[in-house]
Structure 1
Amino acid sequence: MNPRPSIRVAVALAVILLGGLNPAAAVDPVARATGTPLARYLETFALDREAREILDPGLGWGDDQTALVIRVLLRIMLAPPEFLEAWRDEAVPLAALATPPEDRFVHLRGSAVFVAEVMLPEAVTTPTGRRWIDLVRIRTDGGEFIDVVTDAAPRAWRRSRDLDEPAEVFGLPVAAGIGPIPAPPPDGTPWPSAPPARLLVAARVAWHPAELPGSAGMDMGLLDAVVDGQKLTGAESDAFYALLAAAGRAGEGAIASAAGPPAPLIRLIDPAEQWFEHHRGAPIAFDGLALRATRIEIDDPLRQRETGIDHYWEVFVFVNTPLISVGGKAQDRYPVVCCLRSLPPGMPTGPTISAPVRVAGFALKSYAYPLPKGDGTELRREAPLLIGADLQWRRQAAPASGGAMSSVLVGLTAMVVAGVALALWAGRRDARKRVQNRRAALPDRFTPPGAA
């Protein structure tokens, strides 16, 4: 998978190019104040309504208008997370926007019917070399067309093709009846000729497909930032916590029901399958043996608010596989890293447990970690990473009393026990050794997204 370069990379330098700001402006003094209205925030950077008068439909659309809209987009993307959260909380439905509209976010749901790339003028080329932004046309329930300038339309939406995908936007209205028009593609469908009712600027356009986890409020476009074969990065943290939140909204047993019977793990760990690239976010279930369960605190208040919890559980589960070679050693079980909202009451926790479980979650990525070797070097290992809420602890049930028949079975068992005692002892010894070896194959600790 080759993700497109993002406008977020080196964004401070981009702001300098686009707005003529000095480097100190990349750290916003105003942004540190609590409760800054969006209008005041934009005014601080000369992006208020008066500065945006060139977006009047009577003046037409050209490079100056595009450059101004990109400056607004970048400034919104640079806003502190707590500000963005507050502006989203204060958003009003598009139909309820005042006339003339004030500088505040509107909340829009509808169907994305078209997305295309708008090439940027030479004057606003970013340091990353990215020369375009995405323009998304959304059809509202009332039949209006709204265009959205954004940095993050889902990659799965084919450019310059007709679409019909559920979309959600929190964005700033900047113009009415006018907007950029993408150049006709060499192949594909030209941009619709009808002008938009309004033009919005939004950091992203969210995509909520009808299946889990989209039906539980997960923006599937966030998964575009996820990269296999490495540890979790800060760029992937939005997807990680959004899946954790969606797992809670899905409801008890919903992920397990969507996942169906336990899946063979070999598909996820065979590099030739490239399973995650084609199934990222899909519900999946496994049976296995949990060898470690650790409580991980969520320290960020915004993440606590997003997920509705202040901690989650990191559980390492070993799943049976065919005999495979890993690092030159043969093994028939393989670890899966599971980040879960909760555990069943009474389930053992800690670094050395042995609990048979069935776990269901959303498949996030192939998570890489270093495994120390005896010679001081490290072996690179990868394990599937699941995010979920459903774990069944399959504890052994205590035998019930069975009267006379029970006595007969006890007698027969006693006769057998003497003959197999030595084999059982040897089996337990070998099993303990295998479990110790599996624990040694685990990383010292799972690295949460964004952690050093």
Structure 2
Amino acid sequence: MKRWSVSGERWPESGGRRAAAGQRLAVTACLWAAFVWCPTAGHSADDAAEAAPKITATGESQPGADAGKTADAKPAESKPAAAGPVEAAEPGTVLPWLRPAADAVQPPTPPLSSAREMLELFSIDASHIRQLADGRPLVIDEDETLFKILYRMPFFGADKIAAWAKADVVWPELAQEPAAHRLEVFPVKGRVTQVQSIELPPETATRLEYGKYFRVRLQLADSPHSALVCCRAVPAAWERADKLDERGSCLGLFLKTGGEEDGAAELVFAAERVAWLPEQPNPSLGVTPDLVYLASLGMDVGLLDTVRQTNRRPITGDDRECFYQLLAAAGRAVPADLFARAQTPPDVTELLTESETQHGRLVTLLGTARRVQRIAVDEPDIRQRFGIDHYYQIDVFVSLGNTEIRFEQKGDNKEAPVFRHNYPVTCCALELPPGLPARDDIAVPIRFAGAYFKLWAYKSDYVATFDERQRQVSPLFIATTPRVVKFDDSTSNLIGWIGGIGCVLLVLMVGFYTWFPRRSDRRFEQQLRPKLELGTAASLNELGIEARDKPDFSGLADLDRGNQSSRADSAD
């Protein structure tokens, strides 16, 4: 009979069995020695289970002691690692290949000092940059370098690009010595006059994951030179417009000089996008006075195009830049000015049903703040560019009046959430007024004024009772510092005094008219009542009143005779 080992090898047939048994004995002895001498081998399975990490609801590996904690509705905040030194493990307690090496601590990577270094990390080196020739328009030989730079621009980081920007720019110097300033970042500001869309070749679009880019022509401010900015995003209204004369700006990476126009060389830049800063309303482009006001505060109103695509969804990464730019603009605004410009909508329904037309609209609402949360901002680029390290999320209930809002799916007969009397909205602000604490379970009447950001979706216990997959949708506003509403107590006190005095007078009048008639009745009774003085007699028999057996009607006959005589006298 043939026998096979676990590894698939054939066991010896005859005398080799003893050798195999000896080998097994030797292996057993080695395992027993390892069990005795290795301290970790004596640990029980329960100890191993306690030491094993467990996955919490946030998806991060946490110690087993925290496994009993549940995830709240709000996102969990990431805690930084301890800054103190880490104690080294005792020798023999861990396997050698798991022990930290003595030189495991790596020196910090120095920050990149220029865009050129960043491009070199992305394998865009001098050989690619040499393809950019000065003194001529962009040609097909330069496309590959341009396409790669535009592909990598979003990975630079807005904070790094802002840090690399050179404020003291002299445009004639760039035109005369382009090689000395190539791949430097400059703030580009001017009037946008033309936008051209350029399609990428299909194979290049598949490889670089974007299908087109834009060439935006700007007339630089206070300079005869013009700029050609190559970017991957422009406001949607610019693409549809035949003629443009709008204020725009960007942080552009200088590439080369192009052809000359009116004796001045055109300067070619690459940027992630061109900001739109309108100066006057333009209905054909969808520019309202509210958008002009936000642009005056430094807000790129073209970012609202991205937010329009995320209505009825949670806050996404695409909303990030627009959210913080709008929050910074609201922080720069004078609160009284913003309150004066904002308008009160007739009801909340248009903010829910017509959200695509509400973005950037200045709105003021009166409601009751039910919860205020302080949200810490940990992103270094937001702290550096906008100086924002926190903001407040205020959950407000606004009145619906007689309106009823019902969320129903088309063709679905299931019971749906219904809102009556009030509806929840959310506003975010950098500062809180006195009297509005940052805590839960409050009921503070406030009025806020801000810009409509989007119709966002979030988890709600009330809506989840109908369908766990359904989300609550509410308008989200970016507001200036709210105002706590205090009602005028002097008027209410005056009304209270008047009401009290009126009640007292009414009681006195009712009492007077109730007491006076009774007093008159008593006097009249006393006048009509016959006064009979019994004196000292013990009974009526002793008064000397004549008693008769039958009634005496003689008085009536006298009265009749008297009446007849009076009638005769009147007849005479």
Q: Above 0.5 in TM-score?
A: yes
Cα distance change of structure 1 residues 43 and 407 upon mapping to structure 2, 3 Å threshold: closer
Paired with 1:304 and 1:415, the residues of 2 have a C-alpha distance of 67
SS at match of 2:244: coil
The aligned counterpart of 1:113 is: 193
Among residues 283, 303, 307, which one is paired with 2:386 in the alignment? 307
The aligned counterpart of 2:45 is: none
The aligned counterpart of 1:389 is: 480
Q: Does 1:198 align with 2:267?
A: yes
Among residues 355, 369, 379, which one is paired with 2:458 in the alignment? 369
The aligned counterpart of 1:124 is: 204
Q: CA deviation at 1:50?
A: 5.7
Paired with 1:193 and 1:289, the residues of 2 have a C-alpha distance of 61
Q: Does 1:291 align with 2:370?
A: yes
Among residues 232, 245, 253, which one is paired with 2:336 in the alignment? 253
The aligned counterpart of 2:441 is: 352
Quote the RMSD (CA, aligned, Å): 3.2
SS at match of 1:84: helix
Unaligned runs of 5+ in 1: 1-30, 180-191, 417-452
Matches within 5 A, 1:152-171: 152-159=233-240, 161-171=242-252
Q: Deviations over 1:41-89 (max 9, x none)?
A: 234445356632322146764333122111112223212444223113x
Q: Deviations over 1:253-281 (max 9, x none)?
A: 232222134553221112xxx3x322312
Cα distance change of structure 1 residues 408 and 167 upon mapping to structure 2, 3 Å threshold: closer
The aligned counterpart of 2:528 is: none
Among residues 340, 356, 360, which one is paired with 1:277 in the alignment? 356
Paired with 1:240 and 1:278, the residues of 2 have a C-alpha distance of 17
Cα distance change of structure 1 residues 78 and 178 upon mapping to structure 2, 3 Å threshold: farther
Cα distance change of structure 1 residues 324 and 52 upon mapping to structure 2, 3 Å threshold: same
The aligned counterpart of 1:40 is: 117
- Opposite residue 354 of structure 1, the aligned amino acid is A
SS at match of 2:249: strand
Paired with 1:229 and 1:194, the residues of 2 have a C-alpha distance of 52
The count of residues paired between Structure 1 and Structure 2 equals 369
Tell me, yes or no, if the aligned pair for 1:147 and 1:196 is still in contact at 8 Å: no
Cα distance change of structure 1 residues 121 and 379 upon mapping to structure 2, 3 Å threshold: closer
Among residues 215, 222, 225, which one is paired with 1:135 in the alignment? 215
Unaligned runs of 5+ in 2: 1-107, 280-291, 407-415, 507-572
Which segment is superposed worse, 54-63 or 250-259? 54-63
The aligned counterpart of 2:426 is: 337
- Opposite residue 124 of structure 1, the aligned amino acid is T
Q: CA deviation at 1:167?
A: 0.3
Q: Deviations over 1:425-444 (max 9, x none)?
A: xxxxxxxxxxxxxxxxxxxx
Paired with 1:173 and 1:56, the residues of 2 have a C-alpha distance of 13
Paired with 1:411 and 1:323, the residues of 2 have a C-alpha distance of 40
Q: Deviations over 1:344-386 (max 9, x none)?
A: 1122442111111111111110011232344783542210000
Paired with 2:168 and 2:203, the residues of 1 have a C-alpha distance of 34
Bigger radius of gyration: 2
Q: Deviations over 1:86-133 (max 9, x none)?
A: 113x34435275523423101111111111101213452235864211
The aligned counterpart of 1:144 is: 225
Paired with 1:149 and 1:401, the residues of 2 have a C-alpha distance of 65
Q: Deviations over 1:305-335 (max 9, x none)?
A: 3333322111111112242132343513211
The aligned counterpart of 2:89 is: none
Tell me, yes or no, if the aligned pair for 2:138 and 2:258 is still in contact at 8 Å: no
Among residues 232, 248, 256, which one is paired with 1:175 in the alignment? 256
Cα distance change of structure 1 residues 97 and 124 upon mapping to structure 2, 3 Å threshold: farther
Cα distance change of structure 1 residues 144 and 292 upon mapping to structure 2, 3 Å threshold: same
Q: Does 1:56 align with 2:125?
A: no
Cα distance change of structure 1 residues 248 and 399 upon mapping to structure 2, 3 Å threshold: same
Structure showing greater relative contact order (alpha-carbon pairs closer than 8 Å, 6 or more residues apart):
1
Q: CA deviation at 1:247?
A: 0.5
Which one has the bigger strand percentage?
A: 1
Q: Deviations over 1:15-54 (max 9, x none)?
A: xxxxxxxxxxxxxxxx963142223323444535663232
Paired with 1:300 and 1:43, the residues of 2 have a C-alpha distance of 25
Identity of aligned residues (%): 28
